[in-house]
């Protein structure tokens, strides 16, 4: 039997892919969820004796993880995928920023006190902790793993979106500071994904089971042939690569103390429409223009994640495959 892995937010989009891959690789997995009903839902789709769940209603509360850690001395790796949440709120500081930062510190403190055998910890951060997403990015700059979003605490208070950006940055900083100050027995790595596209890990029978990323593509598929294509440029990575990266982050010695910048490519809505027309001729989307796609991409943010790619050692899934697989799943759901 290989090591046991603890993963928070086990019913999440990314977490389910990680769990699937971990089980395929022979690991035992314990997932935290907020309710028994959610734990049972995960168990139902996963069907494995090597998966179990623990109900932790408020994982960020002080000591919330203590009992789980005491019950599972076999855990040697902790994947904290639920480091902050994106929720619409009028009180960004109390509902987004402080819970994210204090929650991260509390979770790390529990591991420090009750998980001395835990050797690796992976925190799911985001590109919004790396890139200058809040203000206009510098068109002459190429962003890398070494960059930090300059968003301030005060700027994060502006609205829920800014609050999410700030919550990812400040909770990641809290984790790195914790490790520097307390010198725990575990080594930290962070995974900083771009917009995560790709199918759900398990078969989807209802459209309500699709997540926000699929929703972005779903909005484009719904366009009629004479509709205007809303201009949108973003960076993406496929969820299956995000799952692989979480595992490499603790399996590879050289990933310790690193931030892994997960970007496969840039994309535009115009480009999504071109892919949909090519692969799904029955769709109603407008024609799309290759020239507009290229022009919009030429103004998109520049990044260089070659250090991450070299460390991971695998090719990221292309936009076309990611979009194709996502749409196939959307079409098959009712
Ligand atoms: P999902 O929304 O699919 O899953 C989030 C998980 O966190 C769920 O298990 C959810 O539980 C749990 N959760 C949410 N709020 C709370 C809370 N207040 N307390 C306890 N648990 C909570 O998220 P993703 O899989 O998309 O994202 C996972 C991580 O990846 C997040 O940290 C996100 O910031 C990061 N990320 C995601 C990107 C994306 O495009 N998807 C891009 C970059 C980073 P419940 O079902 O009970 O609400």
pLDDT tens digits, 20-68: 999 999 999 999 999 999 999 999 999 999 999 999 999 999 999 999 9
- Answer yes or no: are the C-beta atoms of 5 and 28 closer than 8 Å: yes
pLDDT tens digits, 260-313: 999 999 999 999 999 999 999 999 999 999 999 999 999 999 999 999 999 999
Does ligand 1 come within 6 angstroms of the Cβ of 83?
yes
**Of the candidates 1, 175, 3, the residue with the CA atom closest to the CA atom of residue 76:** 3
CA 118, CA 130: separation in Å to the nearest integer? 27
Q: Which residue has the tokens 């998966």?
A: 51
CA of 74 to the centre of ligand 1 (A): 25
CA 156, CA 31: separation in Å to the nearest integer? 30
At 12, the pLDDT band (50, 70, 90 cuts) reads: very high
- Answer yes or no: are the C-beta atoms of 10 and 42 closer than 8 Å: yes
Does ligand 1 come within 6 angstroms of the Cβ of 164?
no
- pLDDT at position 84 is 66
Q: Calculate mean pLDDT across residues 230-243.
A: 96
Q: For the whole model, what pTM was predicted? A: 0.96
Range name among 14-18, 86-90, 228-232, 318-322 with the lowest pLDDT average: 86-90
Torsion 101-103-109-112 (CA) sign: negative
CA 70, CA 15: separation in Å to the nearest integer? 23
**Of the candidates 302, 299, 303, the residue with the CA atom closest to the CA atom of residue 233:** 299
Q: Which residue has the tokens 């595992």?
A: 247
Does ligand 1 come within 6 angstroms of the Cβ of 171?
no
pLDDT at 2 over 80: no
CA 127, CA 131: separation in Å to the nearest integer? 6
- Answer yes or no: are the C-beta atoms of 317 and 264 closer than 8 Å: yes
Q: Calculate mean pLDDT across residues 92-120.
A: 97
Summarize the chain as % helix, strand, coil (round to 5).
45, 15, 40
Nearest CA to ligand 1 atom 31: 82
At residue 122, φ and ψ (nearest 5 deg) are: -120, 125
CA 271, CA 320: separation in Å to the nearest integer? 9
CA of 121 to the centre of ligand 1 (A): 17
280: Cα separation from own chain's centroid? 28
Q: How many CB atoms lie within 10 A of CB 225?
A: 9
Dihedral, CA of residue 311, residue 315, residue 317 and residue 318, to nearest 10: 120
CA of 327 to the centre of ligand 1 (A): 22
User: CB-based contacts of 281: which residues, under 8 Å, 6+ apart?
Assistant: none
CA 95, CA 93: separation in Å to the nearest integer? 6
Nearest CA to ligand 1 atom 44: 126
pLDDT tens digits, 155-179: 999 999 999 999 999 999 999 999 9
Cα–Cα distances (Å) from 231 to 66, 135, 220, 286, in that order, read 47, 18, 11, 13
pLDDT at 1 over 80: no
Q: Which atom of ligand 1 is nearest to the CA of 32?
A: 9
- pLDDT at position 204 is 72
pLDDT at 205 over 80: no
pLDDT at 111 over 80: yes
CA of 328 to the centre of ligand 1 (A): 23
Mutation test of ligand 1: which of 21, 61, 82, 196 has the most ligand atoms closer than 8 Å to its C-beta?
82
CA of 299 to the centre of ligand 1 (A): 30
Nearest CA to ligand 1 atom 19: 58
């Amino acid at each position: 039997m290989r090591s046991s892995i603890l993963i928070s937010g086990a019913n999440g989009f990314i977490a389910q892919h990680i769990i699937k891959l971990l089980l395929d690789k022979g690991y035992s997995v314990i997932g935290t969820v907020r309710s028994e009903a959610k734990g049972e839902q995960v168990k139902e789709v996963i069907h494995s004796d090597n998966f179990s769940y623990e109900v932790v209603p408020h994982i960020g509360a002080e000591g919330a993880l203590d009992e789980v850690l005491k019950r599972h001395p076999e855990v040697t790796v902790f994947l904290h995928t639920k480091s902050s949440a994106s929720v619409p709120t009028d009180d960004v500081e109390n509902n987004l920023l402080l819970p994210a930062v204090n929650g991260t510190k509390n979770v790390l403190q529990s591991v420090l006190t009750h998980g001395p055998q835990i050797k690796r910890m992976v925190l799911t951060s985001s590109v919004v902790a790396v890139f200058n997403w809040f203000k206009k990015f510098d068109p002459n700059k190429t962003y890398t793993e070494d960059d930090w979003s300059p968003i301030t605490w005060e700027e994060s208070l502006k609205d829920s979106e800014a609050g999410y950006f700030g919550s990812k940055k400040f909770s990641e900083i809290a984790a790195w500071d914790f490790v520097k100050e307390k010198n725990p027995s575990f080594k930290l790595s962070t995974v900083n994904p771009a917009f995560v596209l790709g199918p759900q890990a398990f078969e989807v029978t209802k459209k309500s089971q699709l997540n926000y990323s699929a929703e972005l593509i779903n909005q484009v598929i719904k366009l009629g042939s004479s509709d205007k294509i809303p201009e949108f440029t973003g960076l993406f990575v496929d969820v299956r690569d995000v799952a692989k990266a979480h595992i490499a982050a603790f399996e590879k010695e050289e990933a310790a103390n690193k931030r892994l910048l997960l970007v496969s490519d840039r994309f535009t809505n115009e480009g999504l429409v071109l892919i949909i027309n090519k692969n799904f001729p029955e769709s109603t989307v407008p024609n799309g223009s290759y020239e507009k796609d290229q022009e919009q991409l030429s103004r998109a943010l520049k990044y260089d994640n070659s250090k991450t790619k070299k460390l991971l050692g695998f090719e990221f899934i292309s936009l076309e495959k990611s979009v194709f697989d996502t749409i196939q799943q959307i079409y098959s759901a009712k």
